[in-house]
Amino acid sequence: MYKFLLCWRYLRTRYIALASIISVMLGVATMIVVNSVMSGFVSEMYNRLHGIFSDVVIESLCVNGFPNAQEKMDKIREVAGDEIEAMTPAVMLPAVLAYHNGNQWISKPVQLVGIDAITQGKVSAFSKYLQHPANRKRLSFDLRDGGYDTRDHQAGPDAHERPQMAVAGWEHRRRRARAEAFQRSIDNRKQQAARPAGTSLPNAFDQAQPAAAEPVFDRARFQNEGVVIGMAMACYPDAAGRPRFALLPGDDIRLYSANASETNPEFIKRDFTIVDFYESKMSEYDSQLVFVPLDVVQDWRGMIDPATGSRMINTIQIKLKPDADGNEVRDKLRKVFSPYLFSVSTWQDKQGPLLSAVHMEIAMLNVLLFLIIAVAGFGILAIFLMIVVEKTRDIGILKSLGASRGGVMSIFLGYGLSLGLVGSGVGLILGLIFVRYINEIAKGLSLVTGQQIFDPQIYYFYTIPTIVEPWTIFWIVFGALAIAVLSSILPACRAAMLHPVEALRYE
């Protein structure tokens, strides 16, 4: 009983130990907050990356791909049919996107993706990233009559409005056509006025079109082939963080690529009409991916096998059933498809460097933050050594009264354990409270500092994602307790080894 009484007395009266308790508390709370936020970020990143890529991808090592896609897909089902939920053929190749902005052309490199509008949404979360609600249900490459989201459907309640999206679609295309007709009318009048008397314009616009004239729309003729582009290609934030659009659904763009000829490749171009935006909140993909109908890409580039007349593709995307093992399916397919002609990989394989970097970052953060608790351990060691020196006579009295070496040692070990329990317990509570209200705390700090603490334009999340993992919490608390107890072993052994007579004679 005397052991617990002494531990309790030291805990209440030795205020210098409060520094060690605070160190342990801050270390535990910080590690809980950091691990919860990093787990939330990793989970969001996994979901979005997995939403972009299918579970397993078979890619041709030749950019022009291979013919007889259905034959390859039948072979895939023979090998792993019980584990496959859906498949879709696709074409992926580099291209250049260009659009007219004022008096100049803006161009940028992109990744052109030819997809099947019906089956693409079955192998990934592609559909949920589209901005028109009807396209999320069933993608159409025809331009729609408005109805686009004026707010980011992935954003929180504080997201900025997108008023330009309210007029996107055919309404925007009509407005643009009226503006172009009006400008042509003005230009024609200027040309007519500048010509000598008796001459006329040698074109169809000799008689200027009135400004209020409504162009006649034949949708089948007036729209080019449809295309879905990443939101980051068309939208950028202004100084206040509000979205500004350089392009809208209804605008035209031009794509440049090389044809599929192996003997005489040529640079080809084609005009497309934007029908929707794709926004996954992963800037690498929102600023690069351009989706067009698969048959359009094949016809445009001439991806037709001369021997069989079948269309060619260079990618097959596969979605697995929920209980299927992606690595196992990948290994099965690698045995069937020649590694000299095909690359078979899971979505984790394709994002291996990025995922490895994230896990390495989490590990390094944990090591660095755990050093905070290790500093607290050195503080406990120093405090206990000081207490042993100060209480040498008291230890001598305890030994002379019959206290064993184990009893004296357990006093200091129990004291170290009590410091660890109090510090880690308070840190656990503070950490969980901070995680629960982290978004409210971030908003409060933004109001106090006048700067946005968590900028969605940088992190691509409108709220700070957090996930509390019980096992992680357990190991953090257990580690803090272990450091506190280990730090008290040396002082406890020194106290236990004191000779009663020498301790009583100590001044």
394-416 per-position pLDDT tens digit: 666 665 655 666 666 677 677 77
Residue located via tokens 């660890």:
420
Return d(Cα 148, Cα 245) in angstroms, integer. 14
State the pLDDT at residue 13. Answer: 55
Average pLDDT over residues 314-320: 91
Q: Is the pLDDT of residue 228 over 90?
A: yes
pLDDT of 292 over the 90 cut: yes
Of the ranges 252-256, 289-293, 378-382, which one carries the lowest mean pLDDT score? 378-382
Rounded to whole angstroms, how far apart are CA atoms 223 and 253?
12
Q: How far is CA 357 from CA 275, 362, 469, in A?
A: 36, 9, 21
pLDDT higher than 70, residue 466 = yes
Rg (CA), the chain: 34
**pLDDT reading at 164 higher than 80:** yes
Helix runs in 337-463, H state only: 347-350, 352-390, 392-400, 405-436, 438-449, 456-459
- Kind and range of the H or E run holding 248: none
pLDDT in tens, 472-494: 899 888 988 888 888 878 777 77
The CA distance from 45 to 322, in Å, is 19
CB-hemisphere CA count at 13 Å for 249? 31
CA separation for the pair 313, 294 (Å, rounded)? 9
Cα angle 327, 332, 335; round to 5: 125
Q: What are phi and psi of 7, to 5 degrees?
A: -60, -45
Is residue 47 scored above 60 in pLDDT?
yes
User: Which pLDDT score, from 0 to 100, does residue 272 have?
Assistant: 93
The predicted model gives 93-112 an average pLDDT of 88
For the cut 70, the answer to whether the pLDDT of residue 5 exceeds it is no
**Rounded distance between C-alpha atoms, residue 440 and residue 340, angstroms:** 54
Per cent of the chain over pLDDT 70 is 78
**pLDDT score of 213:** 44
Q: pLDDT averaged over the chain?
A: 79
Angle (deg, nearest 10), helices 405-436 and 17-52: 50
Q: How confident is the model at residue 281 (pLDDT cuts 50, 70, 90)?
A: confident
Q: Is the pLDDT of residue 129 over 80?
A: yes
| Percent residues over pLDDT 90 in the chain | 14
Asked if the model's pLDDT at residue 112 lies above 90, the reply is yes
Q: Which pLDDT band holds residue 214 (cuts at 50, 70, 90)?
A: very low
**In whole angstroms, how far apart are CA 148 and each of 121, 141, 240, 273, 372?**
19, 14, 23, 16, 50
pLDDT at 162 over 50: yes
Cα separations in angstroms, 503 against 6, 115, 395, 397, 403 = 18, 85, 7, 8, 13
What pLDDT sits at residue 196? 67
Q: Is the pLDDT of residue 259 over 90?
A: no
Q: Which pLDDT does position 95 carry in this prediction?
A: 93
* Band (429; pLDDT cuts 50, 70, 90): very high
Helix axes 470-487, 17-52, angle to 10 degrees: 150
Instruction: Give the pLDDT score at 39.
Output: 84
In this prediction, residue 165 carries a pLDDT of 87
The whole-number pLDDT of residue 215 equals 46
What is the Cα–Cα distance from 266 to 256, expressed in whole angstroms?
Answer: 10
* Mean pLDDT for the stretch of residues 131-146: 89
Alpha-carbon span 13 to 53, nearest angstrom: 61
